[in-house]
Amino acid sequence: MDHTEKVYYLFGSEYLRVDVSSVLMIAITSLIVFIIAVAATRRLALKPTGMQNMIEWVMDFVKNIIKSNMDWKDGGKFHMLGMTIIFYVLISNLLGLPFSIVVDGVLWWKSPTADPIITLTLASMIIALTHYYGVKQKGVKGYFKGYVQPMKFLLPLKIIEEFSNTLTLGLRLYGNIYAGELLLSLLVGSLAWTGWAGFIAAIPLTLAWQGFSIFIGFIQAYIFTMLTFVYMSHKVSDEH
């Protein structure tokens, strides 16, 4: 058992296993996103500056993502959902890059999205939301009718697609973030402990890889948000 895991028992049998470090990082991510939202909207002005200017730019960016996938009449209601997703995923991608905290060989400070359970949970929540809004928008009959259009024999393929969308959405994010942090730790571990020459050589390489990892973190947040609205458009838009 991982030292960061807490196991709960009921009548002598294990029924719940919780990774405390992941819960900690999720809570920190949520707190950071909340602080950014409050700081950016605390003193609104007609001429935005600083944090307000940044948040308005992100709002326009998310709006363009939505409009590229569906009519704004259908997609406008998901604007705040898109804002939440892109900020949450972005902060989650970047948390483990500046430093890591290891206690007794256990990694406590890391990017939440470097954990496949978290990314697959996020993906499952997104897919569940697309189903919910699909039923809400079209009704139960209209929603399930989409699974047998244009031909009924496509039903099994469309069911398989729902599972594959969940896996690819979650595992793509996990793979990119985990690989970046793993290579960063290997780079530091292999060079920084080989003497002063290795330590000096590790500095520019580490900075370069961190810069690239930050770029990947932004790209993956964009891709995750984009795919969210691609899947959402398939459920709520009549043209799909």
* Every domain of the chain and the residues it spans: 37-236
Please tell me what DSSP assigns to residue 2. Answer: -
From 13-27, 42-56, 147-161, 203-217, the region with the lowest mean pLDDT: 13-27
Q: Mind listing the pLDDT tens digit for each residue in 109-130?
A: 888 998 888 999 999 999 999 9
Q: Mind listing the pLDDT tens digit for each residue in 26-41?
A: 999 999 999 988 888 8
Distance CA 147, CA 227 (A): 20
Distance CA 123, CA 172 (A): 10
Please tell me what DSSP assigns to residue 78. Answer: G
- Reduced to 3 states (helix: H, G, I; strand: E, B; else coil), residue 151 is coil
Which of the residue ranges 76-80, 139-143, 199-203 has the most confident prediction, judged by mean pLDDT?
Answer: 76-80
Average pLDDT over all residues of the chain: 81
Please tell me what DSSP assigns to residue 112. Answer: G
Question: Whole-model pTM?
Answer: 0.83
Q: What is the pLDDT of residue 227?
A: 94
Higher pLDDT, 181 or 12: 181
Q: What is the pLDDT of residue 129?
A: 92
C-alpha 22: how far from chain center: 14
Write down the H helix ranges in 50-154. Answer: 50-67, 72-75, 79-94, 116-145
Higher pLDDT, 204 or 69: 69
Helix (H) or strand (E) holding 168: helix 155-191
